Structure formats: structure tokens, C-alpha cells
Amino acid sequence: MNTLRLYIRSMGMLLRSHLQYTSSFIMQTIAQLVMEGGEMMAVILIVDRFQSLKRWTGGNLYFFFGMMAVSFYFTELFGRGITGDFPSMVRSGRLDTFLVRPRGVLTQVMCAGADPRRISCIAVGIVALIIGSDLSGIVWSPLKVLVLIEAIVMSCLLILGLFMIEAIFSIFSVKSVELVNAITYGGRSACQYPIDVFPLALRMLFTVVAPFALTLHVPASWILGKPLYGWPWWSAIVTPFSGVMVFGFMSVLFHLALRHYRSTGS
């Protein structure tokens, strides 16, 4: 409980820090809106041109896009410390200051980074979800709402876990940005479309290595009433937990790596 309070207070402080530079905050938030709006335009164009993609209707596509946008940008909003700032924390020695405080390092890294500008991207995602739900004619039930929330939370944990690969490499002062970006940002770009439109190799990548298919596509397909690969309904509840497994595994590796932390300068 105390940790949660600490996190909320830190977020408040970071928001105030951002608001110290009001105009640049507003401009960047608008820039984010334009960028994410552009991503959505791509989907709108596809729907406009082809009406459907394999067995997925236009409405379905908006729904997938919305789920990915909400998951990814929530992660960036609340987990910026891991998704973006960590390598520079290592380089600048800021990690040292976390290590001399009686709190978990991961907690402090999370508390040290938030990116409120992502709020505009999340808004785009929510709009897409609503349009997608409406066009697909989803009949919402309490279970479906729960599965939707579970899928988003688990996808967030998965994305955090994937970004932690970069964090772990940076502890050993190895730059791995390009490699890791391929499955994080690359994963976002690819997996905002239904997974079964992709060739087998990509499907394997996003099922076994970075299991977006399990945290996002399986439950989303079930909610849309078109189960992926015809899997039974309970798979929509079970498979997303791969997200928390990836996160847990990466956390363990992260703490092992910290023992080899070398610090910098004096």
C-alpha cells in the first residue's frame, strides 16, 4: 500500500515537473496526438480501401488497433522509467542514488519516470476501441469487460518486460536499442493488426518470443466472437497471463544483473 502511495505521489511530482514547462508540454502532447492519429489514419485507409482484412472486418481492425494503442501508451505513461529513461539513469549515475535508498530499485525506477504527454495517444486508442466495438456489434457482458481489462493489463506487463531487456543490457553498458526496438515498437506496429494475417515466422516471433498474440490477440478475438485458431473460450482468460510471466522473468534477470552494476565516475 505504501509503495502504491509513493508511486502516486511520484507521479504527481513528475506531472508538476512537466508543467513547469507548460507550452512545451502542450506542444508535445499535440505532436503525440498527430503521430498516433496518423497511425490510425493508416488503419482507416486500409478499411476504406479493402473493407476487410482476411476474416476481419473494418470494425474488428479498429478494435485491435485500439487495444494495442491503449496498452502500449499506458505502459509508456506509467512506466517511462523503464521504457525510456533507464539507460540514461545508468549512464548519468542516477541509479546510484536509487541504490542508497531503502526501496526496491524497480519501484524507484518506475517512480522516476512518467510521460503524461502520452495521454493524447491513449485518447486515440480509446476512441478506436469504442468505434471498433460499435462497428463490430460487440455485446458486452461482465466477463468480456473483465477479459478486456485483463488483456490490457497483461499486455502492459509484457511491454514492460520487453523494455527491460534493454534495461538489463544497459547495466552492462551494452547498447541494445535497435535490437529491442524491433520487438517493442516493432511489436506495437505489427500487432495492432490481427496476428493471423502475418506469415508463420512473424506469428512465431509474436507468440513465443514477445507473446503479444497471447496477451492481446487471443482475448480480443474472443471478445469479437471470432476465437483465434478456434481455441476454446477459457484460453482468452488463461493465455494473457504470459504477460506477467515475461515481466516476472525479466525482473529476476534485472536484479541478477544489478549485482554486476559497475557505477560510473566519482
Partner 1 sequence: MSYIEVRNLKKNFVVKKKREKGKLLREKETVKALKDLSFSVDEGELVGYIGPNGAGKSTTVKILSGILTPDDGEVSVGGIVPWKERKRHVKNIGVVFGQRSQLWWDVPIIDSFKLLKDIYRIPDKAYEERLGELILALDLEDFIRTPLRLLSLGQRMRAELCGSLLHRPGLLFLDEPTIGLDAVSKLALRDFLKWENKEYGTTIMLTTHDMEDIAALCSRVMVLGHGQKLFDGKLPDLLERFDTVRNVSVKYADGDPCLKLPEGVMTKKTEDGLELSYEPAKLPTAQLLSILQDAGNIRELTLQPENTDHLIAAMYKELDL
Instruction: Please report, as ranges, the residues that interact with partner 1 according to CB under 8 A.
Output: 2, 5-6, 9-10, 13, 16-17, 20, 92-94, 96-97, 99-104, 108, 259-263, 265-266
Pick the closer one to partner 1 by CB: 96 or 150: 96
Query: Helix (H, G, I), strand (E, B), or coil: what is residue 231?
Result: coil
Judged by beta carbon, residue 102 or residue 232, the one nearer partner 1 is 102
Closest approach of partner 1 to the CB of residue 112, in Å: 9
Shortest separation between residue 88's beta carbon and partner 1, angstroms: 13
Nearer to partner 1, 1 or 139 (CB): 1
Question: What is the number of other CB atoms lying within 10 angstroms of the CB of residue 186?
Answer: 15
SS3 31: helix
Find the shortest distance in angstroms from Cβ 116 to partner 1. Answer: 13
Alpha carbon distance 59, 129 (integer Å): 9
Q: How far is the CB of 101 from partner 1 (least distance, A)?
A: 5
Closest to partner 1 by CB, 102 vs 142, is 102
Q: Are 246 and 184 in contact (CB under 8 A)?
A: no
Residue 200 CA to residue 251 CA, distance in Å, equals: 29
DSSP H or E run through 73: helix 58-78
Query: Which of helix, strand or coil describes residue 227?
Result: coil
Using CA atoms, how far apart are residues 242 and 258, in angstroms rounded to an integer? 24
Q: Closer CB to partner 1, residue 23 or residue 266?
A: 266
Least distance to partner 1, CB of residue 220, Å: 38
